[in-house]
């Protein structure tokens, strides 16, 4: 009996063990799902969008404020331009008046010089008569005709007085011309002084404009992000097509060079056939090691990095929609977003022997002849 009870208990334990193992297998086959990650709620999304809109609103407000200040400076600069133009025009008129006065004085002087010769001749005759001995006077044919020395001298003096009286107008005219000319010179000196002051004023306004055109950190970061996307493009054409003219505001160009951006010699012209059998879309300038390269026109740097086969390249965007590309540089300290007035150094040539700068100009999706572009540049 005890043996049967033992067997029954043993069977029960085995059954429980098998049942537990089966349960574990079933549990392993059907694992408990972990709770899913819960995303932001609709309210949170709404708040995030409102915050984004507020940041954008403030950014646009800053831009509009800056643009308004830039336009105010432009208006002030236009007024100074008008003043400078009026001064310059007036100075040209005065210089013309001075030339006319010089011509009048020369004419009057030449006219008077002939009469002065006559005056000097008469005066010399009188002096000789006064010193002539009586014996010589007595022997003179004219005195035998009834003229004495005193009468001849008095007659000569009367002739001199008449000559002086007749030439007095010419003498006064020359004096008046000289007075007018001196007055004109004083006026032009005063205008020249005022002109220098106005030009200094204009330069100060331009420097304020350049300061205003400096971007804040967030704007620089945005432009730097765009520049990284530019770097991924396959050609300069697609780069400019997708990312050019993205500046909120660029003022009209005031300064532009009419010379090459680097000292050197032109070794490849625009549209010339290259060694690869293609036609050049820009020009090449052979220069010297470490030579500085300057911007040829007011504008903002929108790219400053290595690009494809161009090497290190800087692209400057201008207010008229054109772009100037400078490649072959060793480096550039001008970051993306920097506003570069014409003549500002934007990079340096490498240390290699006879390095070449490649300059390309683009506008409206087309390349332009850089040499003609430079000759068309206008500077204020």
> DSSP states of 237-302 as a string?
HHHHHHHSS--S--PPP--B-SS-SSSSEEEE-TT-B-TTS-B-SSEEEE--TT-EEE-SBSEEEE
Average pLDDT for the chain? 77
Can you give the pLDDT at residue 288?
Answer: 94
Can you give the pLDDT at residue 362?
Answer: 93
Q: Does residue 80 register a pLDDT over 80?
A: yes
Q: Which tokens belong to 64?
A: 């509009």
- Burial of residue 165, with CB atoms counted within 10 A of its CB: 0-12 exposed, 13-18 middle, 19 or more buried: exposed
Could you tell me the pTM of the whole model?
0.63
Can you give the pLDDT at residue 144?
Answer: 45
Q: Does residue 29 register a pLDDT over 60?
A: no
Question: What's the pLDDT band for 31 if we cut at 50, 70, 90?
Answer: low
Q: Which tokens belong to 254?
A: 């005031």
Q: What is the CATH number of domain 61-212?
A: 1.10.287
Can you give the pLDDT at residue 2?
Answer: 46
pLDDT digits (tens, 9 = 90+) for 316-369: 999 888 999 999 999 888 888 899 999 999 999 999 989 999 999 999 889 999
Q: Which tokens belong to 177?
A: 């011309």
Say how far residue 167 (Cα) sits from the centre of its chain.
58
Position with higher pLDDT, 1 vs 112: 112
The 8 Å CB, 24+ separation contacts for 204-208 are: 205/73, 205/76, 205/77, 205/80, 206/77, 206/254, 206/255, 206/341, 208/73
Homologous superfamily in CATH for domain 217-376: Glucose Permease (Domain IIA) (2.70.70.10)
Spell out the domain ranges in the chain.
Answer: 61-212, 217-376
Can you give the pLDDT at residue 143?
Answer: 46
User: Where on the phi/psi map is residue 337: left (φ > 0), alpha (ψ -120 to 50), or beta?
Assistant: left
Question: What's the pLDDT band for 49 if we cut at 50, 70, 90?
Answer: confident
Q: Return the DSSP state at 331.
A: B
Question: What's the pLDDT band for 155 if we cut at 50, 70, 90?
Answer: low
The 8 Å CB, 24+ separation contacts for 263-269 are: 263/287, 263/288, 263/291, 264/288, 264/291, 264/357, 266/371, 267/356, 269/371
């Amino acid at each position: 009996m005890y043996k049967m009870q033992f067997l029954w208990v043993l069977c029960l334990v085995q059954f429980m063990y098998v049942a537990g193992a089966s349960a574990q297998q079933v549990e392993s086959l059907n694992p408990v799902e972990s709770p899913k990650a819960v995303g932001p709620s609709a309210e949170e999304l709404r708040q995030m969008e409102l915050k984004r809109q507020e940041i954008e609103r403030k950014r646009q407000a800053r831009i509009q404020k800056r643009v308004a200040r830039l336009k105010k400076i432009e208006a002030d600069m236009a007024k100074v331009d008008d003043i400078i133009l009026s001064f310059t025009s007036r100075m040209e008129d005065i210089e013309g008046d001075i030339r006319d006065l010089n011509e009048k004085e020369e004419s009057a002087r030449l006219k008077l010089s002939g009469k002065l010769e006559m005056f000097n001749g008469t005066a010399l005759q009188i002096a000789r008569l006064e010193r002539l001995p009586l014996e010589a006077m007595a022997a003179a044919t004219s005195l035998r005709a009834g003229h004495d020395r005193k009468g001849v001298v008095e007659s000569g003096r009367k002739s001199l007085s008449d000559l002086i009286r007749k030439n007095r107008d010419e003498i006064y005219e020359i004096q008046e011309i000289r007075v007018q000319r001196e007055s004109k010179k004083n006026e032009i000196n005063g205008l020249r002084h005022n002109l220098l002051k106005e030009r200094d004023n204009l330069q100060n306004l331009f420097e304020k404009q350049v300061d205003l055109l400096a971007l804040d950190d967030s704007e620089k970061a945005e432009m730097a992000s765009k520049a990284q996307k530019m770097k991924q493009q396959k050609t300069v054409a697609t780069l400019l097509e997708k990312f050019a003219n993205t500046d909120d505001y660029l003022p009209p160009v005031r300064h532009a060079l009419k010379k090459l951006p680097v000292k050197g010699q032109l070794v490849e012209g625009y549209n010339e056939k290259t060694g690869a059998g293609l036609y050049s879309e820009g020009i090449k300038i052979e220069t010297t090691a470490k030579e500085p390269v300057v911007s040829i026109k007011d504008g903002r740097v929108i790219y400053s990095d290595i690009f494809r086969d161009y090497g290190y390249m800087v692209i400057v965007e201008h207010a008229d929609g054109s772009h100037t590309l400078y490649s072959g540089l060793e480096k550039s300290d001008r970051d993306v977003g920097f506003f570069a007035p014409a003549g500002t150094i934007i990079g340096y040539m490498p240390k290699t022997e006879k390095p070449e700068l490649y300059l390309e100009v683009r506008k409206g999706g087309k390349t332009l002849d850089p040499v003609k572009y430079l000759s068309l540049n206008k500077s204020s």
